[in-house]
Amino acid sequence: MDCSMKGIWMLLSLVCFLFLVSSLGETKAAYPTANNGLYIVYMGAAASSNGSLRIQHAQLLRSVLRGKPNAVVHTYKNGFSGFAARLSEAEANSIAKNPRVVSVFPDPLLKLHTTHSWDFLKYQTALKVDSNPNSDSNSSISQGSDTIIGILDTGIWPESESFTDKGMGPVPSRWKGKCMEAADFTSSNCNRKLIGARFYNQEENKAVHQNSARDAIGHGTHVASTAGGSTVEGASYYGLAEGTAKGGSPASRIAMYRVCSDVGCRGSAILAAFDDAIADGVDVLSLSLGAPAMAEPDFSSDPIALGAFHAVERGILVVCSAGNDGPTQGTVSNVAPWIFTVAASTMDRDFESDVVFGSNNKVIKGEGINFSPLKNSAEYPLIHAKATKTSDGDEDEARNCDEIQMDKDKVKGKIVICDSDDGYRPYDKRDAVKNMGGIGAVIIDTLTRSVAENFGGFPTTVISSKDAQDILSYWNSTSKPVATILPTVAITKYKPAPVIAYFSSRGPAFTTNKIIKPDIAAPGVNILAAWIGNDTEEAPEGKQPSPFNVISGTSMSCPHVSGIAATVKSQYPTWSPSAIRSAIMTSATHTNNLGAPITTDSGSIATPHDYGAGEVTTQGPLQPGLVYETSTIDYLYFLCYSRYELSDIKKLSNTIPSNFTCPKEWSDDAISNINYPSIAISNFDGKQSKNVTRTVTNVSGDEKAVFMATMDAPSGLDVKVIPDKLAFTKNNQKLSYQVVFSSAVSPINSHVYGSITWTNGKFSARSPFVVSK
């Protein structure tokens, strides 16, 4: 899962994703995997809808089972066809040669990649939604009744107040899912809110919670409540961030598919969950998980891309996290054009824990969650970690609070200042100081300063390197330096916000650099949401486990978008997944609460490679005016342009026309013409113009709507929209336009950014573009 930043850091130390990049229809030598001989055999479209396909599937299964009765672990037959089985490499290679098989690849192990956030997003929305039968101008995020959000994650804690079904009507009759029972989970744990719960066995660990939908980690519970949790008044984390908790679509139903354990998320289980979710009848699927930046898998061997393709084809929007491998460019995951990819941003709430030092009690503002028992006045001995070095220790490692290099006698009873240029997280440094008998830790880490890590009852805070100069100067010039660390307080109306989080993975994606990824940004920093009820790890002394927790990651931003998508789906039930995605993207904002452009954590102006179309809003998607619809055929052409074999592409869909064929002549720019809500142009040398075409659908409700185009283009790049006026004569009418990019500068800078906005004075639909050389 793209991991949240506290429990997630813990998971990342356990989870290693080593993923095979396979070609269609063949197996290749893989990175080492922990799959115990488990291979996924992917056969494309669902066999159950086609007699001959069903027979071929059965025949292939029988050949695998012959002499190996327990070889097959999962079968896929609802949304797509295939199975996961324990095979030798020779058997896998043999099966890959079967003409019915699309791909065979080792079972990969993927990793795990709020309350006030909804109020913040509401105030960030400029559009005032009209009151009409399809909208609620007072509380757009309260909509969503009977919309079903499927969550693929670590499971759920059903007793949480966030999953109460008070006031909810009967479960929709179209729901075909189930509530799987286990030793610690019964059918009564499901209700009219939590309508489904499935789990997929993780054989490497026989613990009870591994064979149950119950969440033993917390991640899935947090994600589910963020997307569709019921309203809970008086929610807080031990008094911090107190307020009313609610999900993005509190009236929606939730179905949990537990595909992850404490060792990661198996690809075979992810595919099984997609297969079940398609048959169960979900409307939106939310996946806060994916491959790390080091492995950008081929779509034919990517369980998320494969499952998402079939879900989207059946009208299910699939929302995925972008990953936590930022701020380096080219780190974004889940980049298939049929996936809605979400980056992470901050909001206007800060968890401040201050350092007070010196005889005059000078204050430095720090970040972190701690419940410090220390006095408010500076009276505790202060030391820099480098001064705690053992006689034969390494000073560089000691100053970074490496426990092995520190002298316990020098640390005991003191507040220790730790540097952070060794790659270890603040949580590790806290533990080192605590284990050595220290009474507090001040960690210098500019990068993580904006994210509140949970340090529990041990006084710990993170400060920037700039602010650290004052306390270091004081320590160096004072014979008996003293300090204290104050307990955390929540600060609201913090500015600027939003800011793109440092950890949020960035584009461009190497395999899809002609499509902008990520697509959108949403709050993913310091998000308060439901948690498991037996987590005592970070509870302050004498306190019971908190029913809520504050964590960060693109894992947290993803369900924000899933919740908004469910709201849009409830208001426009016939809209396609791409129409909903378009409505959310084209109504995004790119300004912060200072009225200035959104920035990154470093202070630079954010670009579409950082946040796609911008920061999501809650009301704008309900009245987008125009939408860009991307069809299954568009996605199949994308695979054509990406040089996949036509014979394999045809196996992906049962709805594909029999005469479908890849264009005989096309250029590398063809992908840029996929009808996407954003535009990416590459290989632009300025010597000749580049043209792209887009088609928009009028959903304004005005049969005679007239939209005009405006351009925001960087200096040196000429952008023309032809025509620049779209006059519709009926609702749901489609009209096309061209965008022509040319330049007097040859070549342009590496990447330049701009946007095209269509407006009729009431509604606006903004599309970002990236042009690169």
**Catalytic-role residue among 81, 555, 570, 767:** 555
Residue 552 region by backbone torsions, left for phi larger than 0, else alpha for psi between -120 and 50, else beta: beta
Half-sphere exposure of 499 (CA within 13 A, CB side): 23
- Smallest CA-to-CA distance from 6 within 609, 518, 430, 464 is with 430
In which element (H, E) is residue 440 found? Answer: strand 440-444
**Catalytic-role residue among 146, 153, 298, 348:** 153
Please count the other Cβ atoms lying within 10 Å of the Cβ belonging to residue 63. Answer: 13
Q: Is 384 marked active-site?
A: no
Residue type, 651: K
Close Cβ partners of 94 (under 8 Å, ≥ 6 residues apart): none
Q: Is 57 marked active-site?
A: no
**Catalytic-role residue among 113, 219, 384, 590:** 219
Cβ neighbourhood burial of 615 (10 Å; 0-12, 13-18, 19+): buried
Q: What is the DSSP string of 658-710?
A: TT----SS--GGGGGGS--SSEEE-S--SSS-EEEEEEEEE-SS-TT-EEEEE
Q: Report the Cα 358 to chain-centroid distance in Å.
A: 43
* Tokens encoding 50: 């086609």
Q: Check if the beta carbon of residue 446 is closer than 8 Å to that of residue 469.
A: no
| Spatial distance between the Cα atoms of 619 and 121, rounded to a whole number of angstroms | 9
Preceding omega of 577 cis (within 30 degrees of 0) = no
Strands, E assignment, 169-246: 194-199, 232-237, 240-245
Q: Is 555 marked active-site?
A: yes
Cβ neighbourhood burial of 702 (10 Å; 0-12, 13-18, 19+): middle
| Spatial distance between the Cα atoms of 235 and 548, rounded to a whole number of angstroms | 7
Close Cβ partners of 278 (under 8 Å, ≥ 6 residues apart): 78, 79, 310, 311, 314, 316
Residues 681, 683, 689, 692: is their CA dihedral positive or negative?
negative
| Phi, psi of 465, rounded to the nearest 5 degrees | -65, -30
Half-sphere exposure of 735 (CA within 13 A, CB side): 21
- Smallest CA-to-CA distance from 449 within 502, 400, 399, 497 is with 502
Half-sphere exposure of 65 (CA within 13 A, CB side): 13
Residue located via tokens 């306390």:
471
Give how far Cα 382 sits from Cα of 411, 439, 446, Å: 9, 10, 21
Give catalytic residues, as residue numbers.
153, 219, 555
